[in-house]
Amino acid sequence: MLGAASDVIQTESGGPANALVTPYRLPGILGLQQRPLTVRELFVNETMSSGDTIEYAQQTGFDNGADAVAQATAINGSGVTGGVKPQSSIAWTEQTAPARWIATYMVASRQALADESQVRSLIDNQGRLMLALEEEDQLLNGNGTAPNISGILDQPSLQLLDISAYYDDKNLDAIRTARRLVRTGTSRLRPTFVAMHPIDSEEFDLMQDNEGRYRAGDPFASIIGNIDDAAPIWRLRRVETEALAAGTVIVGAREGATVWERQPLTVLTADQHSDFFVRNLVVILFEERLAFPVYFPTAFVKVTLDDWTAGS
């Protein structure tokens, strides 16, 4: 016996034509956006061809005694009068930077990898991104305790800037002072960047003068260059990174450290882990190996910003 016919053929839930409606499927996978990668490019990048450590001699002393010298004027019973040259000296110490592993893995079924090529590419892209994000954190914040890299903020000779004696515009003035400290520190390197959390970067942009004008310029002016580039501060490239905690800024010189790549980012797959083989599971391993010698710690200045609510 046939079911009773509906008065109205409609597609609402439970309606007679509901089963005929096919949802429109957006193609592809809508991946989550991640923070931009900005830290590694701040430093020189090189390839490490052998070994598991980098050793280098770092100059630590430069005592310049050079001075104008008068000629000898007389000889007496105890020796020559005048003409004594002053002594100078230099010193260096041997430093070692170990190559450390950064790695992660994911597990997927063999069927998922075979049935949908986008799953494979998404896993590959996301795994590489995960390593890069951890890499940024290590280069800046690594504490040097194995297996961590010794990052910029871990350096014992890192310059620290106390801005408690500053008055108006403490934070803006502090960046300029840090720029000078890099240039006049023992490394004598030219400062090239200022790195900060996006929150602090926004606060710098929102700074206003006594007449309510933005210190960084007209926010409605025509865009010059990349729309995502933040305006320089004191002619230093401004880099926004969430790898730095809000309130902490690093002013530094590109040549002060080098990222040495011992093993480039490598992707490996295997099904021998545990009972993965009989369960049709595959482990995808992402790993890289880096060394990060900071040749001149004084080429970097850590600035702890004043509380923005205090009117910096």
Instruction: Read off the CATH number of the domain in which 142 is found.
Output: 3.30.2400.10
* Residue at 76 is within a domain: no
Q: What is the residue-wise DSSP string for 97-118?
A: EE-EEEEEEEEEEHHHHHH-HH
* Residue at 241 is within a domain: yes
* Whether 134 contacts 102, CB under 8 Å: yes
* 178-230 per-position pLDDT tens digit: 999 999 988 899 999 999 999 999 999 999 988 888 888 888 776 565 666 78
CA distance 180 to 191: 8
Q: What's the confidence (pLDDT) of residue 30?
A: 72
Residue 166 has pLDDT above 60, yes or no: yes
Percent of the chain with pLDDT over 70: 92
* Residue at 293 is within a domain: yes
Residue 58 has pLDDT above 90, yes or no: no
Question: How many domains is the chain partitioned into structurally?
Answer: 1
pTM: 0.84
* Whether 251 contacts 236, CB under 8 Å: yes
Least confident window among 60-69, 76-85, 117-126, 237-246: 76-85
Q: What's the confidence (pLDDT) of residue 302?
A: 97
Closest CA to 301 of 238, 245, 251: 251
Average pLDDT rounded to a whole number, residues 28-57:
88
* Whether 262 contacts 99, CB under 8 Å: yes
Average pLDDT rounded to a whole number, residues 19-27:
79
Question: Six-digit token pair at 68?
Answer: 């104008």
Q: What's the confidence (pLDDT) of residue 246?
A: 96
* Whether 205 contacts 166, CB under 8 Å: no
Q: What's the confidence (pLDDT) of residue 4?
A: 58
* Residue at 22 is within a domain: no
* Residue at 85 is within a domain: no
Domain range for 306 is 40-58+93-220+228-310
CA distance 312 to 301: 19
* Whether 148 contacts 142, CB under 8 Å: yes
Closest CA to 290 of 46, 6, 86: 46
Burial of 295 (0-12, 13-18, 19+ CB in 10 A): middle
Residue 131 has pLDDT above 80, yes or no: yes
Banded model confidence at residue 8, pLDDT cuts 50, 70, 90: confident
Banded model confidence at residue 92, pLDDT cuts 50, 70, 90: confident
* Residue at 120 is within a domain: yes
Q: Could you tell me the CA-to-CA distances from 186 to 32, 38, 55, 180, 276 in Å, in that order?
A: 44, 27, 20, 12, 56
Question: Six-digit token pair at 140?
Answer: 């800046």
CA distance 118 to 133: 22
Q: Are strands 237-240 and 193-196 parallel, antiparallel or unpaired?
A: parallel
* Residue at 294 is within a domain: yes
Question: Six-digit token pair at 249?
Answer: 């800024």
* Residue at 83 is within a domain: no
